[in-house]
Structure 1
Amino acid sequence: MQLYIAKTLESAGVKRIWGVTGDSLNGLSDSLNRMGTIEWMSTRHEEVAAFAAGAEAQLSGELAVCAGSCGPGNLHLINGLFDCHRNHVPVLAIAAHIPSSEIGSGYFQETHPQELFRECSHYCELVSSPEQIPQVLAIAMRKAVLNRGVSVVVLPGDVALKPAPEGQLPTGIMRHNQS
């Protein structure tokens, strides 16, 4: 599924993803390395990743992307995402999450991303099966661009490791300068 996400972002014109590499994001960064078309921009802190994505979106007028690993990684995105949302810049945040079977159990580093990101985004959705990813990712990108703000896709680790549905990449993904 991580390769599917990377290819979808590439088709939307994304040039880089800002974040801190961690266990729950290794699949995505590995997919980006294999593709070679989207650059993983390593930061020392997720807050920096969110602010950097916001600056990129502000300067380019294009969708920018940041990513946070599960638990504290997601929490650290908050300040930057609030800034992005209040400045009306199109940013997609990929929020890795704990395994779906552990949600609600008090699992190590468990947070509640949908609640966490509600006030700093136009759209925040948990992907609970691979079949959801084409639609959720397309909606998230459209809302970030058209509503000029933040969208968040929450991706549990076990779901991220499953194969993506076969078929075409989502259609109707707009770049900001096409609106």
Structure 2
Amino acid sequence: MAGRAVTSESRRSTVGAGPSAGSARKTVAAAAEARRFSIAVSRLLFEVIDRRRAIGHLGDVVSPAVADQVGVLVRHDAFRIVDPASPLTQAPVGTVLQRVHVQMCDISAAEIFGSYAAGARVRAFAGRIERKPCRVRGPREPGTRRSLGQVEYRWQLVALEFH
């Protein structure tokens, strides 16, 4: 037999060589959190694109560059599709989010991609989310000023493309 024989002792030594249980839990928790955030921000994004919400609703969940990009798309009616079946009303057809997929890069970054329906067409989008530090106000103690000393890490959409 060319190679090392696998014994129960060698199996035990390789089991502990992988990531620790704490690290695995962090990865699973980050993936679940990233998925929830991706779905929520995608829904919000398409509501803004359809003008069901104002661009101000995007707030801090998208980077300033993405907010500017979406603002330009909305201003120029880039997603406006008129239903050809109703030529009298010329009612615009909305965009509908269909699927969202998340591929983790590490516990603080993920690539997202998915599909949406715009009229009779199905199109794709892709983006990147990252955990960014965000200063938050601490609890207010009686007689003291509230400080911005605490930092929380929150997900933010930092890149976005439509295809």
Q: TM-score range by the shorter chain?
A: under 0.3
Q: Which has the higher helix share?
A: 1
The higher relative CO (CA closer than 8 Å, separation ≥ 6) is in: 1
In the superposition, the TM-score normalised over structure 1's length comes to 0.22
In the superposition, the TM-score normalised over structure 2's length comes to 0.24
Structure with max Cα Rg: 2
